[in-house]
Structure 1
């Protein structure tokens, strides 16, 4: 298939591979998602990747006669995607460039990009690889970072819900729009959470009025949640929940009951692109399910939230 096919803006997805088992599981997930979106899949191998990660090659990529070539690694990913979904349009490309730069560029016109987690042993298995983190921080398209025990399948749903974090900027949330579309494609419920906390000075300086202050903050959070969800289609099942606590902890808890956790990332003014706040950074390292980082101001220039909260459904 011609490498240019399916390359119109938003009509293809990208998955980064490096020959490791986590990256091939990412191919599985990306293939499922591409079928859901009815777009083509582009498998990309930036062959300087091992300079950063030192990947251990998956069994179905390595050869008895020695390590595979970059082209063989890319082609192995494409074969895996086609085997999973024979009707899916798949291309494979090798880019002789630093992986974080190559993948960010490849994702400029993509509907979304999928990357796997990287870790070798012990605590490292809980942490995100440097390339995956850089791509999530700088890409112009939504980036799916696969985490959790079911990170090799987008469908069928495991928990039957997509969770989205709703931050302070609720007027035009790219993350909410992405989560709504994803929940509808999968036929599952949407959970929207807004985390809130009383400022320290209110709880410390006025302990007798803390209860009233807390109610006001919770009421404000509920109103912000309503604003963020006001355009959600009526046929979508939505759970709304305001939670007192730090956003990172609230979202991490939600990730154990979600198939997908969606958060926003604020675009910086400098050349470094998207800036991941502490909440998004922590979720990328420790979430129990795949995380999608949705940039502010995507192609329609609408602003997105600074991933601050999530909606958890009733237990």
Structure 2
């Protein structure tokens, strides 16, 4: 039976049950690609903002590692460098960006999605890049990023858009959060408020609403209370979700008529971070992302934070 192991930069191999000596590191997944290098830069900024260590993780299967090592031994330049070299370069990149940041680096010999989900169990957040493989790469999300966003226990930040490889200083000067129907499920709002406070920028809370097709909202002579009640309900939900936020966070409230996914994608064009929630149901094995979270992951113009909250089926 094979065992899960982690190889450090010094070449030592130890058991890797997912426990770290320090609590709540920020984890970034790397694979040597340009998107993962951008993710490393952004994660280093975020870890420095939070005052937590950064853990750089490269995950690969045994056969890939052995092939790369063999190619290095025989001097084949067409094969990729060993994983230790890739993760080491990413770690050094993070240290150069923030010399005071504590950075550790690991190679985990597992399927990448599963390895990162395991690493997320003890993380304050997990950062991943995107890797589209077609002519419309900017509109695609890599399978590993999508899997991690749909299953990780901690917030997952997926690097979308042209963000100049940085979390700070702010480019647009705002964090946007999508507010769902259940105001009690406020993990995403709390996360967004903390991110806005760390950056010193306002938090914009967006609640979308729609008039059902059978209502007369589309007829000018019949517009009135039937339409207004949906907007008023959106305002009530928004206020309930924001009522417990710290007083030192500047909050801007906005209700938008239309689909939530469209409202949030539109808002992402002038945001530094877009935050949405995702339910995690016990025992559910499929992708645990709602339609709104799924849409913004594929189409957002800025980094997206998926914040999980637990939900139990009735």
Same fold (TM over 0.5): yes
1:45-84 deviations in Å (ceiling 9; x for gaps): 0114998xxxxxxxxxxx9685210111111111110111
Match of 2:151 in 1: 138
Q: Return closer, same or farther for 1:273/1:41 CA change in 2, 3 Å cut-off.
A: farther
**1:171 pairs with one of 184, 206, 212:** 184
Q: Is the 8 A contact 1:6 1:40 kept in 2?
A: no
- Looking at structure 2, the residues matched to 175 and 123 of structure 1 have their Cα atoms a distance apart, in angstroms, of 29
- Looking at structure 1, the residues matched to 19 and 309 of structure 2 have their Cα atoms a distance apart, in angstroms, of 28
**2:93 pairs with one of 80, 87, 91:** 80
- Looking at structure 2, the residues matched to 205 and 50 of structure 1 have their Cα atoms a distance apart, in angstroms, of 60
Which gives a bigger RCO, structure 1 or 2 (Cα 8 Å, sep 6+)?
1
Q: What is the DSSP-based 3-state SS (H/G/I as helix, E as strand, rest coil) of the residue aligned with 1:33?
A: helix
1:168-194 deviations in Å (ceiling 9; x for gaps): 011240000000000000100000011
Which TM-score applies when normalising by structure 2?
0.85
Match of 1:226 in 2: 239
Q: Aligned-residue CA RMSD in angstroms?
A: 2.6
**2:132 pairs with one of 119, 129, 132:** 119
Matched ranges for 1:169-208 at <5 A: 169-203=182-216
- Looking at structure 2, the residues matched to 237 and 125 of structure 1 have their Cα atoms a distance apart, in angstroms, of 32
Q: Return closer, same or farther for 1:7/1:29 CA change in 2, 3 Å cut-off.
A: farther
**1:241 pairs with one of 207, 230, 254:** 254
Gaps of 5+ in 1: 52-62, 298-302, 305-315
Q: What is the DSSP-based 3-state SS (H/G/I as helix, E as strand, rest coil) of the residue aligned with 1:106?
A: helix
Match of 2:28 in 1: 15
Q: Return closer, same or farther for 1:165/1:152 CA change in 2, 3 Å cut-off.
A: same
Residue 106, structure 1, aligned to residue 131, structure 2? no
- Looking at structure 1, the residues matched to 299 and 279 of structure 2 have their Cα atoms a distance apart, in angstroms, of 20
- Looking at structure 2, the residues matched to 268 and 206 of structure 1 have their Cα atoms a distance apart, in angstroms, of 41
Match of 1:213 in 2: 226
Matched ranges for 1:285-296 at <5 A: 285-296=298-309
Q: Is the 8 A contact 1:264 1:295 kept in 2?
A: yes
Match of 1:58 in 2: none
Matched ranges for 1:40-59 at <5 A: 40-48=53-61
Q: Is the 8 A contact 1:49 1:98 kept in 2?
A: no
Q: Return closer, same or farther for 1:115/1:72 CA change in 2, 3 Å cut-off.
A: same
1:228-259 deviations in Å (ceiling 9; x for gaps): 00012222211101111000000001000100
Q: Is the 8 A contact 1:151 1:289 kept in 2?
A: no
Residue 255, structure 1, aligned to residue 268, structure 2? yes
Q: Is the 8 A contact 2:271 2:302 kept in 1?
A: yes
C-alpha displacement of 1:5:
9.6
1:122-157 deviations in Å (ceiling 9; x for gaps): 213321000000000000000000011115100010
Q: Is the 8 A contact 1:16 1:43 kept in 2?
A: yes
C-alpha displacement of 1:117:
0.7
Q: Is the 8 A contact 2:62 2:109 kept in 1?
A: no
Match of 2:73 in 1: none
Match of 2:4 in 1: none
- Looking at structure 2, the residues matched to 7 and 243 of structure 1 have their Cα atoms a distance apart, in angstroms, of 45
Gaps of 5+ in 2: 1-7, 10-15, 65-75
- Looking at structure 2, the residues matched to 6 and 36 of structure 1 have their Cα atoms a distance apart, in angstroms, of 20
Q: What is the DSSP-based 3-state SS (H/G/I as helix, E as strand, rest coil) of the residue aligned with 1:200?
A: coil
- Looking at structure 1, the residues matched to 284 and 184 of structure 2 have their Cα atoms a distance apart, in angstroms, of 26
Which TM-score applies when normalising by structure 1?
0.85
Q: Is the 8 A contact 1:147 1:289 kept in 2?
A: yes
